[in-house]
Homo-oligomer: A and B are copies of this chain.
Amino acid sequence: MSELDVAGLQRRLAEFAASREWQPYHTPKNLAAALSVEAAELLEIFQWLTPEQADRVMEDPDAAHRVADEVADVLAYLLQFCEVLGVDPLAALSAKIDRNELRFPVGRPPGRSARATEAGDRHSSE
């Protein structure tokens, strides 16, 4: 399934944009904005749901379709952003997990404090 890996999808997205002459719009800044907008549209599905309702969102076929559709949009803009700037998203994530394994050793007290630390550290110079 050459189309169902990241490189294949990036190729399809690039051809799609090129054949419609959309590349002039696909600047790094615009794609970062579009990615952020699509992520917010995904969040919008959940904004008024209780945690319990949110956990069951895929039981509603309409909501399930909307979730998959917004996931696709987020991934589409993320991959196009990476293509334009020459970032390998899978390598970036793998390297980040490596770093996080050092920053958050197993055995640290779990729960809120660890998550709060993660959030705080994310803003540090790392």
Could you tell me the distance between the alpha carbons of A75 and B88 in the complex, rounded to whole angstroms?
A: 11
B73 near A45 (CB under 8 angstroms)? Answer: no
- Contact A111-B21, Cβ < 8 Å, known A72-B95, A90-B9, A95-B72: yes
Residues of B within 8 A of A47 (CB): 30, 33-34, 37, 119
Q: Which of A85, A92, A116 lies at the interface centre, i.e. has the most chain B CB atoms within 10 A of its CB?
A: A92
Could you tell me the distance between the alpha carbons of A49 and B112 in the complex, rounded to whole angstroms?
A: 8
Could you tell me the distance between the alpha carbons of A101 and B110 in the complex, rounded to whole angstroms?
A: 40
Question: Which residues of A come within 8 Å of B, CB atoms?
Answer: 3-6, 9, 12-13, 16, 19-22, 24-25, 27-30, 32-51, 53-55, 57-58, 67-69, 71-76, 78-79, 81-82, 85-87, 89-97, 100-101, 104, 106, 108, 110-112, 114-116, 119, 122-123, 126
